[in-house]
Copies of this chain bind each other. A is one copy, B any other.
Amino acid sequence: MINQSTTLDLTFQALADPARRAMLERLSTGPASVSELARPFSMSMPAVLQHLAVLETAGLTLSHKSGRVRTCEINPQALSTAQDWLAARRAEWEHRLDRLEAYLTELQNKDQGNG
């Protein structure tokens, strides 16, 4: 299953790194420049740029350059794609538990009828 990168792959992969999540946390409070995003980290500029590229490739952020400053912002739509996938799995699992419970209750009622 190597090298078949879907949107979800890129999204979750991007979210897997604490530095990138920290950048998203910062961006969720409002847009920021590259150097502003870099400030909290003891990390070289190229490293920061690579993280930002990962976020942007995954669609989690957007950016535009004005003069020599690149401003980044969060893209909430990509967040909800990931969120939706998680919600779907949970819903499916809980729906299954509900069906199971209903089935067991039904069995119990039949037993009572027959006993």
Contact = CB atoms under 8 A, between A and B. Distances in A.
Interface size class of chain A, counting residues whose CB lies under 8 Å from the partner chain: 35 or more
Contacts of A83: 83, 86-87, 90
Consensus secondary structure, chain A interface: helix
Contact of A80 (B1, B41, B76, B90): B90
Contact of A1 (B8, B41, B96): B41
Interface of A: 1, 4, 6, 8-9, 12-13, 15-19, 21, 24-25, 27-30, 41, 43, 74, 76, 79-80, 82-83, 85-90, 92-94, 96
Number of copies: 2
11 contacts: A12-B16, A15-B86, A24-B89, A27-B93, A28-B92, A29-B92, A74-B93, A76-B94, A79-B89, A82-B86, A83-B83
